[in-house]
Amino acid sequence: MKDDFSIKGEVIAVLEAIEDPTQGKNLLDAHMIEQVDVQSGVVDITVLVELGRTREERFSLEDSIYNKVEEIAGVNEVKVKLTTPKAVAQQKNADPLPEPKQPAAAKPKAAAIPQAEPIQGVGKVIAVASGKGGVGKSTVAVNLALGLRDLGYRVGVLDIDIYGPSLPTLLGLMSRPSVSERQIVPLQTQGLRIMSLGFLMEDDTPVIWRGPIVTGIIRQFLRDVDWSGLDYLIIDMPPGTGDAQLALAQTVPVDGAVIVTTPSKLALIDAARGLEMFRTLNIDVLGIVENMSEFVTPTGEVFKIFGDGGVEEEAKRLDTTVLASIPLDPAVRSGGDEGSPVVASAPDSPAAKSFLALAENVAKQRPIQPGEESADGKKKGLFSFLKS
């Protein structure tokens, strides 16, 4: 049986596919959806409709929403309420005579991409991405977050790899988040606030969703989760270039992207595509992380298993920098499998030190404004308070 959170994601996707004939935009881009609430399969939708629409237009819109949402599996009842925007309603009460309509030529041209709005209470949003899967992107994202935590910052991690969420395994947590005052409360572990679809799905349940539904879920994670009070929100992206990347860019301003790759030629080709995608979306790329850069045997012998020098050359060609080189270290694998990433489980290991250097580079490029400082001069973050 579907839970209410999954149903809400599908409802949002349906609303995004319904076009308002008056404005020529879908209901989300037209900012007509004031509220979507799902309780035990009962869907309540509040729609903002400006003054001046005919009764037939209002009924047609209401029927369109009702009929499409009713088809969603798990929906028991649909309630659609059409209301007037508050500002227009106040103006109507003050003056019973409606304002004359503006000529069509005076209307502003609709933007091609919805305006991204910051997440209230979050300092910087950092996306960790890769051009292809299997290069250790999620491992880098989690250890980057822990490195920032160790620098004294308040950090959250959002896993929007909808088809392959890794956060529950990497952090050893399988609880379900709670809801408070219509907001999802992220889970907390190891000094981080975390959210992932993996916390809402049964084990081994495949996610077989089309792009619009994925987009709706990602927007929920960004808007309906209580991220307030964070210095950094690390976004663990899905690999490649697609709906999730576009949904992120359209929903919130991203302060920088970190591209993860191995030194192999095949991974570097896809990493370059991913980097250019972020630039196309006007998102600054902070640099490249070279993961699995080398393997050092117990006797000190070094093996460049995936190649040598390719990441530096590609970074130079793409006019960016190498933020860190992370060696192949058994402690990284074991820490991830056991729910205790290497920065937490083996902080003195070479890999953990490389992750801390990555965190320092990210914090240097995207610094947080000075706030409350502890006695050692570091910014007091969530982890500092949890340890005290």
Query: Which residue positions form the known binding site for ATP?
Result: 131-138
Handedness of CA 162, 200, 37, 34 (dihedral sign): negative
- CB of 360 closer than 8 Å to CB of 370: no
Q: Which segments within the chain are labelled E, that is strand?
A: 19-20, 25-26, 33-39, 42-48, 77-83, 122-130, 155-159, 178-180, 183-185, 187-189, 192-196, 230-236, 256-261, 285-296, 302-303, 322-328
Quick check: 357 and 324 in contact, CB under 8 A? Answer: yes
Q: Provide the Cα torsion 160, 365, 357, 309; round to 10°.
A: 90
User: Quick check: 205 and 198 in contact, CB under 8 A?
Assistant: no
Look at residue 69 and give its three-state secondary structure: helix
Report the alpha-carbon angle 60-223-339, nearest 5.
135
Residue positions forming the annotated binding site: 131-138
Rounded Cα distance, 338 and 363, in Å: 28
- Residues with Cβ within 8 Å of 100's Cβ and at least 6 positions away in sequence, in order, are none
Q: Dihedral of the CA atoms 69, 70, 72, 74 (nearest 10)?
A: 130
Task: Sheet with 77-83: list strands edge to edge.
Answer: 33-39, 42-48, 77-83
